[in-house]
Structure 1
C-alpha cells in the first residue's frame, strides 16, 4: 500500500482547494509581517507554495515534510525544502515556526506534546509558533462525507467519517493505464484538539487566536499564535 502522504500528494490537484489555501496563506503572511521575524521554519510544508510566498516576501525560510513527492514539488519552485525531521534541526535556529493547513490535526493526542517540545527546541525564548487546527464544525460540518472526482483518466473517491473526536479518511484512486485501471488506496487519521489543551502548555504561551472560515458558513479553523516561554 502506498504511503498515505504520497497518495495525498497524488490526489492534491484533483481536490482543488487552491483558493482556500491561498486565503489561509495570506492570514499567515499578515501575522508574520506584524511580528517582524525573518527566519521561518515551515513544518509540513507540502508542495512549497507557502514557502514561495515567504521567499518572495523576503523571509529566510526552510520547509520540511515527510512526503518525498511533496518536497520534490517544493524544490521545483526554487525554495529550500527537505525530508529532515523537526528534531534534526539546529537548536534556536529559527525565529518562528509555522505548521499550516491543520498539520497538528494529523498528530495523535499522545504524541502532540513531544511534537511541541521539538518545536520549542528550534526557537529561542520569545520565539513564535503559528499553526491552525480544525474546529469541531470543521470536522463535522465540512470534512465528514464522501467526495468523488472523475476526469476520464483518474477516478477518485474520498470517504471521511468523524467519530470519537477522530476523522478517518479513506482514499481510493483509480488511474487509467491503456485499457485497464490501476488502483491505489490508503487512509489518513486526523484528531480533534480542543482549544483548552493549548491554553495549558508548559513551553508555550497562547498569545492570540483567530477564527478562519475557508470551507463553510462558520469558522472551520482556528489560527493559533504562541510565544515560547
Structure 2
C-alpha cells in the first residue's frame, strides 16, 4: 500500500486546520486524564508528537512508513519505523490519530487491539478516532488535482463495499527537465460501531466514552473518538 508515496504528498493536501483541531481535542482528553507517558501509534510526520513535546509530555512515536519516520527524526522527535507488535516498552497511554484505525482491515482489528493492550500499563488508556459512515460517504470520496511548479498530484477516492480506495498519481520534475510519474494507492476501511465495541471488549478494554467529532463544518459527525481504559 502506498504509504510512502502518500507521505511525500501529504504536506500539499491542505489538511493543517483539520489536523490541528483534532490534535487539540486529543490533547484536551490527555490533559484531563493526566497522561504523561504516551505511545503515538501511526505518528506520521510527528505533528502530534511535536504538540506533546511542546507541552513537556513524554512521548514516543511509531509508524510503518520509513518516509514518515524520516520526517520525525529531522524534527528531533523520538520515533521509530516499528510495528506495534514489536514494541517492548510499556506506556500509560496509546493514541492512534487521524484515520490510523481505518487503515487496518477488519480481520486484523482484534489482533491490533490486543497488541495495543499489551503495550499499556495496568489501567492505561487507549484513545483513537475512526471515520463515521458519513465521513466516508460524504466527505472522503471525490477527486483532487494539485498543480505546482515542479509537481502535479492527482487523487481519486472511491468508497464502496465499506472500503475507501484512494488512487494517487504524482508527476515530479526531474533534473533533466522531464516529469517522472509515480502511482500507488491506499485503502481505508469503515468499521461499524458494534464491531469495534466487541473487539475492544474482547481485548480487555473498557470504553469510557465515545465522542462525536466534526472535523469538517457539517451538522453530522464525520469522526468518532474512543476513550478506552485497560481493564
Q: TM-score, normalised by structure 1?
A: 0.95
Task: Report the equivalent of 2:99.
Answer: 102
2:222 maps to which residue?
Answer: 220
CA–CA distance in 2 between the matches of 1:83 and 1:148? 30
Contact (CA 8 Å) 1:198, 1:206: kept in 2 or not?
no
In 2, the alpha carbon distance for the partners of 1:68 and 1:84 equals 9
How many residues align? The count is 226
Give the match's secondary structure for 1:16: coil
Cα deviation for residue 144 of structure 1 reads: 0.5
Per-residue Cα deviation, 1:131-183 (whole angstroms, up to 9, x for no partner):
00000111010100111110122111110110010001100111122431100
What are structure 1's unaligned runs of at least 5 residues?
Answer: none
* Whole-angstrom distance in 2 between the partners of 1:216 and 1:154: 30
**Take 2:149 and 2:54, find their aligned partners in 1: how far apart are those partners?**
36
1:141 partnered with 2:143: no
Runs of 4+ residues over 6 Å off in structure 1: none
Aligned to 1:192: 190
Residues 142 and 216 in structure 1, CA contact (< 8 A), matched pair in contact too: no
Are 1:164 and 2:161 matched, yes or no? yes
Contact kept? 1:65, 1:83, Cα under 8 Å: yes
Write the distance in 2 (CA, Å) between the matches of 1:16 and 1:124: 37
Q: Note the C-alpha offset of 1:216.
A: 4.3
1:110-129 to structure 2, matched below 5 A, reads: 110-129=107-126
- Structure 1 distance, partners of 2:158, 2:124, is 37
The whole-number CA distance in structure 2 between the counterparts of 1:130 and 1:51 is 15
CA distance in 2, matches of 1:107, 1:100: 13
Is the Cα contact below 8 Å between 1:161 and 1:168 reproduced in 2?
A: yes
Gap regions ≥5 residues in structure 2: none
Partner of 1:209: 210
Q: CA RMSD in A?
A: 1.2
Match of 1:49 in 2: 47
Alpha-carbon offset, residue 81 of structure 1: 0.3
Are 1:180 and 2:181 counterparts? no
Matched, 1:14 2:12: yes
Structure-1 separation of matches of 2:193 and 2:52: 28
